[in-house]
Amino acid sequence: MLRSLLLLLSRQSWLRRWMETSPAADRLTSRFIAGSTLERELAVCTRLQAEGILATLDHLGESVTSLEDAAAARDDYLAALDRLDALHLPATVSVKLTQLGLDFSEDACRANVERLVERAHAMNSRVEIDMESSEYVDRTLRLVSALHARYASVRAVIQSYLYRSESDIEALCRQGIPVRLCKGAYREPPDVAFPKKKDVDANYVRLMIQLLDRGTCPALATHDVQMLRRAITHVRERNIAPDRFEFQMLYGVGRDLQRRLVAEGFRIRLYVPYGNAWYPYFMRRLAERPANVLFLARNLLKN
Ligand code: FDA
């Protein structure tokens, strides 16, 4: 109920405008978002690297309103890749195709992403293509396959709440495309996605094992301790080396868990967002764990 309300609010543009320009924005968001500028993002990534944690940068923004905005988003990412290269930070970038123009033109979007993948390839990094709501899945996977065939240096994202994901993973494994597996963060109808969390979780375990056994450099993106335990048992049973896969988590979520995994010798990468357009991302994080609303309220009342 609260989850649905938060997801509904995440799509309200009036509330978004008000929140994103609020003087309390920094105080509100600092747990989940590195800051509004690239330099603040890089400072967080450098600090994480010193703790043995990798990063993937997310320049916040989705569903741009013109191809000019999409080109600007591409240029922001190119600038981020240049800075990562200069600092020798072994980070990747995560992009949303709607931010790079997918709602306007598949060709223009592909050209934008291709510039990023070319740059990432040249510096031995990777572009991780986030998965958005189910209407985008076919177009996203088409673009990922085409870019992988040309450069490699991409990673697809698959959501365990979708019924189709097992066959999508099969196809991605056949092509040797790395996959990030997550549960899925959007509101989907019951004809495309499991409505019950226990089915989403059970499917996560199935897909995770499919990826660990047959995938290329899979990334298991979850904070769910049951899933993590299951993954660790599986890799130990099968003697899968810790450098053949990675765990991924969100910046600010499950911080103790992150440190424990590093101490146990696992590779872990955090998804670290930055920028001014934080509202939809932030609201999805609240929806995932309504207790975060209390955390937010406490922060607002401080000072
Ligand atoms: P689950 O929701 O079952 O939570 C397990 C436990 O984790 C909770 O009990 C709680 O303790 C903790 N937790 C989870 N979320 C929390 C939060 N926001 N705050 C505090 N605690 C929290 N989705 C998508 O649709 N497309 C994408 O491209 C991506 N990309 C992506 C990258 C990375 C690195 C991660 C970690 C996640 C994504 N996601 C995503 C989001 C994903 O689909 C999912 O919504 C969240 O990860 C929450 O699901 P969990 O697997 O953590 O499990």
Burial, 39: exposed, middle or buried (Cβ in 10 Å; 0-12, 13-18, 19+)?
exposed
Q: Is the CB of 288 under 6 A from ligand 1?
A: yes
Q: What is the CATH number of the domain that holds 171?
A: 3.20.20.220
State the pLDDT at residue 21: 78
The amino acid sitting at 164 is R
Catalytic residues: 130, 180
Alpha carbon distances (Å) from 116 to 43, 81, 103, 146, 153: 22, 8, 19, 14, 10
| Residue from 185, 128, 118, 136 nearest 157 by CA | 128
Q: What is the average pLDDT score of the chain?
A: 93
Mean pLDDT within 139-153: 98
Query: Is 301 part of any domain?
Result: no
Query: Is 4 part of any domain?
Result: no
Q: Is the CB of 196 under 6 A from ligand 1?
A: no
Query: Is 7 part of any domain?
Result: no
Which pLDDT tens digit goes with each residue over 89-130?
999 999 999 999 999 999 999 999 999 999 999 999 999 999
Q: Is the CB of 183 under 6 A from ligand 1?
A: yes
In the predicted structure, residue 229 carries a pLDDT above the cut 90: yes
What is the percent of the chain where pLDDT is above 90?
77
Query: Is 91 part of any domain?
Result: yes
Which pLDDT tens digit goes with each residue over 157-194?
999 999 999 999 999 999 999 999 999 999 899 999 99
Mean pLDDT within 200-205: 98
State the pLDDT at residue 299: 64
State the pLDDT at residue 301: 62
Domains held by the chain: number: 1
Task: Identify whether the C-beta of residue 223 lies closer than 8 Å to the C-beta of residue 190.
Answer: no
Task: Identify whether the C-beta of residue 80 lies closer than 8 Å to the C-beta of residue 120.
Answer: no
- Which among 288, 293, 296 is the best mutation to test ligand 1's pocket, defined by most ligand atoms within 8 Å of the CB? 288
In the predicted structure, residue 302 carries a pLDDT above the cut 70: no
Confidence tier at 47 by pLDDT (50, 70, 90): very high
In the predicted structure, residue 221 carries a pLDDT above the cut 90: yes
Query: Is 28 part of any domain?
Result: no
State the pLDDT at residue 303: 46
Query: Is 19 part of any domain?
Result: no
In the predicted structure, residue 25 carries a pLDDT above the cut 60: yes
Give the domain extent around 71: 34-277
Between 20 and 86, residue with greater pLDDT: 86
For residues 90 and 71, what is the distance between their CA atoms, to the nearest angstrom?
25
pTM for this structure? Answer: 0.93
Query: Is 135 part of any domain?
Result: yes
